[in-house]
Amino acid sequence: MMLSGWGRFPYQNCRVTKPTTEAEIAARIAEGRLIARGNGRAYGDSALSTTNTVDMRRFNRMIAFNGNSGQLVVEAGVLLSEVIATFLPRGWFPAVTPGTKFVTIGGMVAADVHGKNHHRDGSFGAFVDWIDLMGADGVVRRCAPDVEPELFHWTLGGMGLTGVILRVAFRLRPVETAYIRQTTIAAANLDDAMDVFEANQDATYSVAWIDCLSKGASLGRSLVMLGEHASPRDMGYPKRNTPYLVPVKRKLAVPMDAPAFALNTLAVRAFNAVYYRQGLKKAGTELVDWDGYFYPLDGIENWNRIYGRRGFMQFQCALPLANSATGMRALLEAISASGQGSFLAVLKRFGVQSGHFSFPMEGYTLALDFPVNAKTLALMAELDRLTVQNGGRFYLAKDSRMTPYTLRQADPERVAAFVKMRAETKAGAAFSSAQSERLGL
Amino acid sequence: MMGPVLILGGRSDIGLAAAHALAKRGHPVQLAARNVQSLSAEKADIELRYNVAVSLHEFDALDVAGHEGFVDGLDVLPQIVVCAVGVLGHQAEDQRDVEAAAQVMRANFEGPASVLAVLANRFEARGSGTLVGISSVAGDRGRATNYIYGAAKAGFTAYLSGLRNRLAKKGVHVVTVLPGFVATRMTDGLDLPPKLTAEPAEVGEAIALAVEKKRNVIYVKPIWWLVMAVIRNIPEAVFKGLKL
Ligand SMILES: Cc1cc2nc3c(=O)[nH]c(=O)nc-3n(C[C@H](O)[C@H](O)[C@H](O)COP(=O)(O)OP(=O)(O)OC[C@H]3O[C@@H](n4cnc5c(N)ncnc54)[C@H](O)[C@@H]3O)c2cc1C
Ligand SMILES: NC(=O)c1ccc[n+]([C@@H]2O[C@H](COP(=O)([O-])OP(=O)(O)OC[C@H]3O[C@@H](n4cnc5c(N)ncnc54)[C@H](OP(=O)(O)O)[C@@H]3O)[C@@H](O)[C@H]2O)c1
């Protein structure tokens, strides 16, 4: 069947199976190269294999929860949305979450996802106690920071290329309410925004929306959003009595392949409205429910259709701290000069990162969307070049078009070590995706 | 305290989805299936998610002589029953092999009708309860490509309609579910049109709502009502010439 990632580019004709037992997965491995697929939220071709795409969503059982430590054990196909629905009412929330809740726990491990708290808490892997992984030989191994540590650290961020993740034990964090106290700060330009990030290193969550249309002295004009888990004291009555309850909202849906321009324009208008309102005060604080705060896009079903049939790509890079100011400026200048891409981009401060192949590095990360066409492809190649020039690297979960050469320029040692590990463990011959083939991983 | 929901065909993707939707509303769950001990992971999962008790019961729909005993063996008489038992069969082979065809008819009609008869009588005596039967739009009109399955489902649909009529004044409600296409193990490998295909979770939620609202007959995706209205109304003279 024709299959793609979230960006609907590229599509490939994939053989897809949906096993229900571990024996069936082992049989698939014996058939030849395969890749595991979670909920298809990686943007590009990370979870596509023409010969053998193994849909893991039937492995969707929760196994155990420890109410003292917050440790939850699940099968890899359980969705993060189900974890939240089950445990938020009991006072627990994911310690790290990406910007959509419609990801599987297996996918979160494979991409070692980061959230708005990376600068403080690190990536998802920091909260993973162990992983059960089926390797090239069909044998299931439990790996953890102190058991088979190499396998553990390569699997985090390993994009499914070390084996099939069957089960994961990870820790949730206790929360007192379902709300976030959000403080919004208007930053006049990039330097200003980075100063706000640096001054707020102890904020639990931080992220900025950048206006990509801004130029010159206001290049990088942005809204920096800081967040803290609210306590019942922050809430008025009667809400305070039901701190985990959030009123149900209507879901919007993108009916057909709606134009990106319309939505983009709307987003920029909203940005400007908040920006000017914020500019008048020092900082504004409000209570936002968890869904609106962490997953604003999840409220719009199928928003990936806005770029039309040809689909879209996301660009996301991370730059080391020392080069972040100059590097981000260069990237934003290239984007604003081109007039291509989404009108808003996301900027975020990363903290230190462990893990052998995970994406984050201490510094800053920038992410934005592009429709698929010749102009944007050329622009993205330029953004690649600027990223490499500034010692940065790229997020494989967002990539659909990078060249193997760029990847090696950006990350020579880690890529070489990854390929060597894959050869030594025989994982290279058993697990491959369209992306790993394109990138020569 | 909410009474339990009994799922007949407890390994079925649709049956399990119904169990989740009803457990979420606070109903304890009784899972009944062949080789039921293999459902211990499902039991743990439902208990963990919804804080309700789940019990496992060995059950074979074809063992009609054992159905009274099966119901006697339940810890409590359920409040709700969802019958998800069914097999799709292989039309091309089954039309040449009467024994195989009989198996399909028995698993889709005779077995479910038998166990529901026992439960209906108990519910009638108690004066309460809801029976949910998962039948199929395939029973609305026989087609060359699946009329053995379709005929059995037609029988089951009529049976459910009769039960509903009989029990309407006895405090017992009967729901007929005609799900259209659903992406389950039964349909793995078939090329189903995405717009007409429901996820098991949607069907589970629709079943829980139908139980709450005392609906009689539900199609899960509304479009199926229209599709079937059209299919039922094609004149036989035309219908027999179609490739469906
Ligand atoms: C709107 C949106 C916002 C996002 N925001 C963020 C963000 O803030 N931070 C961030 O880090 N990411 C973000 N992402 C990316 C997303 O978190 C990752 O791509 C994640 O891996 C998707 O999980 P999935 O279950 O959909 O996996 P898929 O997309 O299906 O697969 C992704 C990768 O995981 C592997 N994989 C999946 N399941 C298994 C398994 N069981 N065993 C082995 N390998 C497996 C696949 O092989 C593939 O390489 C975002 C994506 C979207 C669409
Ligand atoms: N999927 C669809 O598109 C679709 C559409 C319309 C109607 N339906 C109906 O929906 C119901 C559920 O099907 P599903 O889609 O969830 O498929 P499924 O997962 O294959 O479920 C069917 C279940 O019936 C059970 N079963 C078969 N014979 C049995 C017997 N003799 N005793 C006990 N259990 C028996 C099977 O048990 P085992 O696991 O032990 O084999 C299986 O769990 C079926 O009645 C089906 O006809 C499905």
For testing the chain B interface, which of A16, A58, A61 should be mutated: the one with the most B CBs within 10 Å? A61
Q: In which band, very low, low, confident or very high, does the pLDDT at A341 lie, cut at 50, 70 and 90? A: confident
Q: What is the mean pLDDT of chain A?
A: 93
- My answer on whether A191 and A84 are in the same domain is no
Give me ligand 1 centre to Cα A129, in Å: 19
- My answer on whether A287 and A382 are in the same domain is yes
Q: In which band, very low, low, confident or very high, does the pLDDT at B206 lie, cut at 50, 70 and 90? A: very high
Interface touch A86/B188, C-beta < 8 Å: no
Q: Is the pLDDT of residue A282 over 80?
A: no
pLDDT number for residue A368: 93
**Does the Cβ of A160 fall within 6 Å of ligand 1?**
yes
Query: How does DSSP classify residue A250?
Result: P
Q: Is the pLDDT of residue B135 over 70?
A: yes
pLDDT number for residue A281: 63
Tens of pLDDT, residue by residue over A244-259, are 998 887 777 765 566 6
**Does the Cβ of B12 fall within 6 Å of ligand 2?**
yes
* Residue that finishes a domain, picked among A174, A203, A219: A174
Q: In which band, very low, low, confident or very high, does the pLDDT at B215 lie, cut at 50, 70 and 90? A: very high
Q: Which ligand is nearest to the CA of B11?
A: 2
- My answer on whether A47 and A153 are in the same domain is no
Contact A103, A298 (CB under 8 A): no
Which of B49, B185, B188 faces A62 most closely, judged by CB atoms? B49
Tell me whether residue B149 is one of the annotated catalytic residues. yes
A122 located within any domain: yes
- My answer on whether A217 and A353 are in the same domain is yes
- My answer on whether A233 and A353 are in the same domain is yes
Query: What is the number of other CB atoms lying within 10 angstroms of the CB of residue A417?
Result: 14
Q: Is the pLDDT of residue A423 over 90?
A: yes
Supply the range of the domain harboring residue A49: 2-55+421-439
**Among residues of chain B, what percentage have pLDDT more than 90?**
94
Please provide the size of chain B in residues: 244
The pLDDT of A139-145, averaged and rounded, is 98
Answer positive or negative: Cα dihedral of B216, B220, B223, B226.
Answer: negative
Q: Map tokens 């039937």 to a residue.
A: A58
* Residue that finishes a domain, picked among A174, A189, A212: A174
- My answer on whether A247 and A116 are in the same domain is no
* pTM, two decimal places: 0.95
Q: Is the pLDDT of residue B234 over 90?
A: yes
Higher pLDDT, A277 or A46: A46
The pLDDT of B153-168, averaged and rounded, is 98
Higher pLDDT, B104 or A279: B104
Among the ranges given (A223-237, B13-27, B98-112), the one the predictor scored with the smallest mean pLDDT: A223-237
CATH number of A394's domain: 3.30.70.2520
A321 located within any domain: yes
Alpha-carbon distance A282 to nearest alpha carbon in chain B (angstroms): 44
pLDDT number for residue A273: 79
ipTM confidence score:
0.92
Q: Is the pLDDT of residue B91 over 70?
A: yes
The structure tokens listed for A217 are 């002295």
- My answer on whether A313 and A212 are in the same domain is yes
**Does the Cβ of B107 fall within 6 Å of ligand 2?**
yes
Among the ranges given (A167-171, A240-244, B58-62), the one the predictor scored with the smallest mean pLDDT: A240-244
For every residue of A21-83, DSSP letters joined together read SHHHHHHHHHHS-BEEE-SS-SSSSTT--SS-EEE-TT---EEEE-TTT-EEEEETT-BHHHH
The pLDDT of A21-29, averaged and rounded, is 97
Give me ligand 2 centre to Cα B113, in Å: 15
Give me ligand 2 centre to Cα B108, in Å: 9
Q: Is the pLDDT of residue A316 over 70?
A: yes
Higher pLDDT, A94 or A237: A94
pLDDT number for residue A359: 98
- My answer on whether A300 and A432 are in the same domain is no
Interface touch B48/A1, C-beta < 8 Å: no
Tens of pLDDT, residue by residue over A200-222, are 999 999 999 999 988 999 999 99
A429 located within any domain: yes
Q: Is the pLDDT of residue A66 over 70?
A: yes
Q: Where are the beta strands (DSSP E) in B22-150?
A: 29-33, 54-58, 80-83, 129-134
CATH number of B5-239: 3.40.50.720
pLDDT number for residue A271: 82
pLDDT number for residue A277: 76
- My answer on whether A135 and A260 are in the same domain is no
Q: Is the pLDDT of residue A74 over 90?
A: yes
CATH number of A145's domain: 3.30.465.10
A414 located within any domain: no
Q: How far apart are CA A85 and CA A287, in angstroms?
A: 20
Tens of pLDDT, residue by residue over A76-124, are 999 999 999 999 999 999 999 999 999 999 999 999 999 999 999 999 9
Interface touch A63/B44, C-beta < 8 Å: yes
A128 located within any domain: yes
Would you kindly state where each structural domain of chain B is located, as residue ranges? 5-239
Q: In which band, very low, low, confident or very high, does the pLDDT at B231 lie, cut at 50, 70 and 90? A: very high
* Residue that finishes a domain, picked among A144, A174, A204: A174
- My answer on whether A247 and A161 are in the same domain is no
- My answer on whether A216 and A351 are in the same domain is yes
A268 located within any domain: yes
- My answer on whether A309 and A208 are in the same domain is yes
Alpha-carbon distance B53 to nearest alpha carbon in chain A (angstroms): 15
Number of independent structural domains in chain A: 3
Q: What is the mean pLDDT of chain B?
A: 96
Per-residue HEC secondary structure of B132-185 comes to EEECCHHHCCCCCCCHHHHHHHHHHHHHHHHHHHHHHHHCEEEEEEECCEECCH
A411 located within any domain: no
